[in-house]
Amino acid sequence: MQFLTYILCQTGKNLRQTWGAQVMTLLTVTLSVLIFAFFFLIYTNMLRASAQLGDDVRLIVYLDQEVTEQMRPVLETRIRDFGPVEKIVFVSRAEAFARLSAQMGKEKDVLNDLGPDFLPPSLEVYPLKNLNDLSKINQFSDFLQTLPYVTKVQSGLDWLQRFGYFTSLLRIVVLLSGSLLIISMTFIVSYTLRLTVLSRQGELEILRLLGASSAYIRLPLLLEGMLQGVLGSSLGLAALYILYQWIVSRFSGPGFLKLFEFTFFPFELTAAILLAGIVLCTVGSLFSIRRFIRI
Amino acid sequence: MPRDASTDKPLVELVNITKIYPPDIVALEDVSLRIYKGEILFLTGMSGAGKTTLIKLLFCLETPTRGLIEIAGRDLFRLSPVGIQQMRQKIGVAYQDFRLLDKQTVFQNIAMAMEVTYASAKEIRVRVGELLDLLNLASKRNKPVGELSRGEQQRVALARAAANRPTLLLADEPTGNLDQTTTELVINLFRRLNEEDGSTIVVATHDESIYAKTEHRVVELHNGQLAAHLEQTPRQVELF
Ligand SMILES: Nc1ncnc2c1ncn2[C@@H]1O[C@H](COP(=O)(O)OP(=O)(O)OP(=O)(O)O)[C@@H](O)[C@H]1O
Ligand SMILES: [Mg+2]
């Protein structure tokens, strides 16, 4: 108990003596956590979104005439011969029209002038889920193009592909900001601690002469690093949460964010980031302690 | 009172200690000395005789070039870092150059010695107050040490050394900057520590006035060597 009081007192003394540097370090730690966590948040959301999109992949094949009952099995076997397909849906002109007017809801009157035949018949091919590889789906799309009656194959793949590129770019950014996080935390914390050690060198020397235990000398420094980690990471995550709330309130409503629900980290991940921040800062302080204090 | 050297077990035993500072400055040469539990010992000699060096050796601040030092039967230079740390808590040292923290107050400087032993805040307050009264420093309690006179700083250093009621007190030139009255305060402190707490006290000094009339043992260093056994003839006139 007495021991703990002294350790805490010492820590407080240290913080007071170098508070300018302490505040700067805290800001740096906070910022690095914020930057890293921000990109990481976007990345995890993108990953989830692309998984969702991958689930919905379907190829729509527009035809220039209705497929007769006899033709259906022929087309179906040709398609299934090429690759694994979950299901194939034939959509006639009438069905296409019914779908559209259902989608339009109240405004379906607009369609009355156009007549029920203005939409082309089509064929919807749902590749098996495990065919998520974009290049395979591309091949599939090329193949469908060669079938009779086909005018156009719409896959939405371009978009999915761009989404994929963006996700991998983001992965690099996450890795980079993660490294930044590691470097800034360990090095800056250890640097600040060195300032503490230097500013108290005379005192530490005398403590040694008075027979202070190594815990008495080292623990406050370790605690200082740990404190930077706890405060910096929590502040960074709190700032990210505020930013997140702002984005959600700003961009909610119909549109992009409605399509992919933008969510915050689950509790476990938040805790993991916090813990990582604390560990990194503690490691940083260990560096200094080992390098600058010999007992 | 002087101890009977032949029956007591020595608290400190130096055996053939030689200390050579690089490159070839011989500070101590073949010094053998026993310091008994509960005694007061004066270590005298001219400037440069090796008094400070001997005290540093006892406190593990320097290592001897040759020889053996045992404290309470334990080889000083085989102690683990933790062993050294524990030993230092039991030895109070008043350094010739004080080694105080100028920016901290008198109270803080003295309290530091007790804080490292995890004494309670109350114990510290009481003990420091007592020492400040004994050394006539009570009015300087909350002054930064840097603003004190040399003589006052010297007494702060002594108070810090005495704070934990050490088993062994090493005082290096404790009266160098003091007048006669203040010197008596210091000697009074030594006597109290010795009588009430059973502390063994080693005083390194060339101030003849404090050992001239003592009944305690006086040993003299001369160019790093222990001079002829002055301690065989304890003086009977009391100052202590
Ligand atoms: N760190 C050192 N490096 C080299 N030589 C040293 C060192 N410390 C002391 N000496 C030398 O060792 C000798 C003994 O010095 P020491 O300080 O022990 O003398 P002293 O008896 O305490 O003198 P004084 O009464 O002036 O304090 C001196 O010649 C000194 O120059
Ligand atoms: Mg000296």
Would you call A210 and B116 a contact, using CB atoms and an 8 Å cutoff?
Answer: yes
Q: What is the mean pLDDT of residues B5-11?
A: 66
Contact status, residue A116 vs residue A86, Cβ threshold 8 Å? no
Q: Where are the beta strands (DSSP E) in A34-179?
A: 59-63, 85-91, 122-127, 150-154
Structural domains of chain B, count = 1
| CA–CA gap between residue B209 and residue B183 (Å, rounded) | 10
Would you place residue A260 in the very low, low, confident or very high pLDDT band (cuts 50, 70, 90)?
low
Task: Classify residue B89: in a domain, yes or no.
Answer: yes
Q: Which of B25, B42, B177 to mutate to test the pocket of ligand 1 (most atoms within 8 A of CB)?
A: B25
How far is the centre of ligand 2, averaged over its atoms, from the C-alpha of B103 (Å)?
A: 25
Contact status, residue A7 vs residue B119, Cβ threshold 8 Å? no
Tokens of B3: 């101890």
| CA–CA gap between residue B172 and residue B191 (Å, rounded) | 16
Q: Is the pLDDT of residue A292 over 80?
A: no
Q: How many CB atoms lie within 10 A of CB A262?
A: 18
Backbone angles phi, psi at A210, to 5 degrees: -80, 0
- Which candidate, A231, A53, A253, A79, places its Cα nearest to that of A156? A53
Q: What is the mean pLDDT of residues B167-182?
A: 89
Q: Is the pLDDT of residue B5 over 80?
A: no
| CA–CA gap between residue A82 and residue A28 (Å, rounded) | 56
Question: From the alpha carbon of B19, which atom of ligand 1 is closest?
Answer: 12
Closest CB to B85: pick one of A2, A3, A211.
A211
Contacts of B234 (CB under 8 A, 6+ apart): B2, B215, B216, B217
| CA–CA gap between residue A185 and residue B167 (Å, rounded) | 46
Tokens of A144: 């469908």
Contacts of B163 (CB under 8 A, 6+ apart): B92, B110, B111, B113, B114, B127, B128, B131
Q: What is the mean pLDDT of residues B64-93?
A: 90
ω into residue B64 within 30 of 0, thus cis? no
The CATH classification of domain A58-155, taken from the options 3.30.2290.10, 3.40.1010.10, 1.20.1630.10, 3.30.70.3040: 3.30.70.3040
Buried b (16+ CB within 10 A) or exposed e, B44-69: bbeeebbbbbbbbbbbbebebeebeb
Helix axes A19-55, A2-17, angle to 10 degrees: 100
Would you place residue A160 in the very low, low, confident or very high pLDDT band (cuts 50, 70, 90)?
confident
Tokens of B197: 């707490």
How far is the centre of ligand 1, averaged over its atoms, from the C-alpha of B65 (Å)?
A: 15
What confidence tens digit (pLDDT) does each residue in A176-186 have?
888 888 887 88
What confidence tens digit (pLDDT) does each residue in B18-35 have?
999 988 899 999 999 999
| CA–CA gap between residue B160 and residue B152 (Å, rounded) | 12
Q: How many CB atoms lie within 10 A of CB A148?
A: 12
Task: Classify residue B237: in a domain, yes or no.
Answer: no
Residue with tokens 């202070």: A212
- Atom 2 (ligand 1) nearest CA: B21
* Count of CB pairs separated by less than 8 Å, A with B: 47
CATH number for the domain spanning B208: value is 3.40.50.300
Domain carrying residue B200: 10-231
pLDDT of residue A164: 78
Q: Which of B53, B58, B220 to mutate to test the pocket of ligand 1 (most atoms within 8 A of CB)?
A: B53
Q: How many CB atoms lie within 10 A of CB A94?
A: 13
pLDDT of residue B200: 94
- Kindly state the helix (H) or strand (E) to which residue A273 belongs, with its residue range: helix A267-292
More confident site: A164 or B97:
B97
Would you place residue B203 in the very low, low, confident or very high pLDDT band (cuts 50, 70, 90)?
very high
pTM of the model: 0.73
What confidence tens digit (pLDDT) does each residue in A54-113 have?
666 778 888 888 877 788 888 888 888 887 787 888 888 888 888 888 777 777 777 777
pLDDT of residue A248: 85
Task: Classify residue B1: in a domain, yes or no.
Answer: no
**Would you kindly state where each structural domain of chain A is located, as residue ranges?**
2-53+161-292, 58-155
More confident site: B86 or A1:
B86
More confident site: B209 or A230:
A230
- Residue B161: closest C-alpha in chain A: A210
pLDDT of residue B232: 43
- Kindly state the helix (H) or strand (E) to which residue B94 belongs, with its residue range: strand B91-94
Q: Is the pLDDT of residue B138 over 90?
A: yes
pLDDT of residue A152: 82
- Which candidate, A203, A51, A61, places its Cα nearest to that of A132? A51
Paired residues of A123 in beta bridges: A61, A90
Most confident option among A167-171, B118-122, B161-165? B161-165
